[in-house]
Amino acid sequence: MNYKYILKDLLESRGMQMEDLKELYDDEVHIKTEPENFKGLCLGLHKELGSGVMMLFAADERSTRGVFVIRCVFLGAKYKRWFIVNMDVSPENPRFSSLAKDIFSASLFEREMKEMYGIEPIGNPDPRRLNLHDEVWPEGAYPLRKGFDISKIGSTGSKEYKFKKIEGVGVFEIPVGPVHAGIIGPGHFRFSSAGEPIINMEARLGFTHRGVEKEFEGKSVLEAVKLAECVSGDSIFGHSLAFSAAIEKICGVTVPEDEQYLRVMILEIERMYNHASDIGGMALDAGFSFPSMYASIIKENILELNKVLTGTRYNKGFNTIGGVTGLLSGDKISHLSGSLEKILKDFKELKDMLYSSVSFMDRVDTTGILKKKTAEDLGAVGLAARASGISMDLRKDLPGIYDKIIFNMARQAAGDVLARLNVRIEEFETSAGIIKQVLEKLDSAPKQHQPKSINMAGGSALGYVEGWRGPILYWVRLDTRGIIDRCKIVDPSFHNWTALTFAVLGNIMPDFPLCNKSFDLSYSGNDL
Q: Which amino acid is at 125?
A: P
pLDDT of 291:
96
- Answer whether 22's CB lies under 8 Å from 80's CB: no
pLDDT at 448: 61
What's the confidence (pLDDT) of residue 341?
A: 96
Nearest to 473 by CA among 374, 379, 405: 379
Residue 351: is its pLDDT beyond 80?
Answer: yes
Distance CA 56, CA 42 (A): 11
Q: pLDDT digit string (tens) for 146-175?
A: 988 777 666 565 677 888 888 888 899 999
The residue-averaged pLDDT of 297-323 equals 95
Q: How far apart are CA 63 and CA 67, in angstroms?
A: 8
Q: What percentage of the chain carries pLDDT values higher than 90?
A: 79
Q: What's the mean pLDDT in 202-208?
A: 92
In whole angstroms, what is the distance from residue 173 CA to residue 245 CA?
45
Quote helix, strand, coil % in the chain, to nearest 5. 45, 20, 40
Q: How confident is the model at residue 221 (pLDDT cuts 50, 70, 90)?
A: very high
* Residue 416 DSSP symbol: S
How high is the mean pLDDT of the chain? 92
End-to-end Cα, the chain, rounded Å: 36
What pLDDT was estimated at residue 156?
60
Reported confidence tier of residue 182, pLDDT bands at 50, 70, 90: confident
Q: Which residue has the higher pLDDT, 476 or 136?
A: 476
Query: Residues 227-237: what's their mean pLDDT?
Result: 96
Report residue 306's pLDDT band, with 50, 70 and 90 as the boundaries: very high
The mean pLDDT value for 44-48 works out to 92
At 95-124, the pLDDT tens digits run 999 999 999 999 999 999 999 999 999 999
pLDDT higher than 60, residue 45: yes
**Chain-centre distance of CA 130, in angstroms?**
17
Give residue 191's pLDDT band: very low, low, confident or very high (50, 70, 90).
very high
pLDDT digits (tens, 9 = 90+) for 139-148: 888 999 998 8
Confidence of residue 25 (pLDDT cuts 50, 70, 90): very high
Binning pLDDT at 50, 70 and 90, where does residue 136 land? Answer: confident
Which of 111-120, 452-461, 486-495 bottoms out in mean pLDDT, i.e. has the lowest?
452-461
CA distance 293 to 299: 10
pLDDT at site 180:
81
Tell me if residue 246 falls in helix, strand or coil: helix
CB-based contacts of 185, cutoff 8 Å, min separation 6: 207, 208, 522, 523, 524, 527
Residue type, 413: A
Pairing between strand 198-204 and 188-194?
antiparallel
**Residues, the chain, total?**
528
C-alpha 382/C-alpha 413 separation (Å) is: 14
In the chain the domains, ranked by start, together with CATH numbers, are 4-152 (3.30.460.80), 212-526 (1.10.645.10)
Please tell me the distance from the alpha carbon of residue 280 to that of residue 294, in angstroms, as a whole number: 7
